[in-house]
Amino acid sequence: MDPQHPQPVHTHRKKLSGRTKLGLWLLLGPTILIAASFILFATTNFIFGNVPDAIPAECTAELSSGSASLSDEACQESLFGEQSRLEAFLNSMLFLAGAIGVLTWLPGLVIGIVLLATKVKTPHQPHQD
């Protein structure tokens, strides 16, 4: 072995199989979907958030006494503000995305673990020069 001409180092990068990629996606996908929907929901409501100027006294009196059921439209609008169609659409879509993430989280976790735990081990073949 010549010190001036060292042997090249072969870096062997193992390519992930389709089964391994699917297992990882099933493990991570629903969690990412839930987190993203929470973050986007908070961002959307912060952007579109409209704070009412003043709440009418009759609404606060009814709420503090416990006799109000918030069925009065004037009280609802003054407490919650008016929601635009875009905001309602975005909130609905983000709720749907979060619901899909929650419903697929446990099955994805179980199937992903099974796919990763039972992956086929290929015997390591030595590198031939």
Q: Which helix (H) or strand (E) holds 50?
A: none
- The pTM of this model reads 0.61
- Domains of the chain, by residue range, sit at 18-117
Q: Count CB neighbours of 98 within 10 A.
A: 18
Are 113 and 28 in contact by the 8 Å Cβ rule? The answer is no
Q: Report the percentage of the chain scoring pLDDT > 90.
A: 36
pLDDT in tens, 42-56: 998 888 876 555 666
- Whole-angstrom CA distances from 5 to 9, 56, 116 are 12, 86, 42
Q: Which residue type is seen at 42? A: A
Dist. CA 28–CA 84, nearest whole Å: 33
pLDDT in tens, 16-36: 788 889 999 999 999 999 999
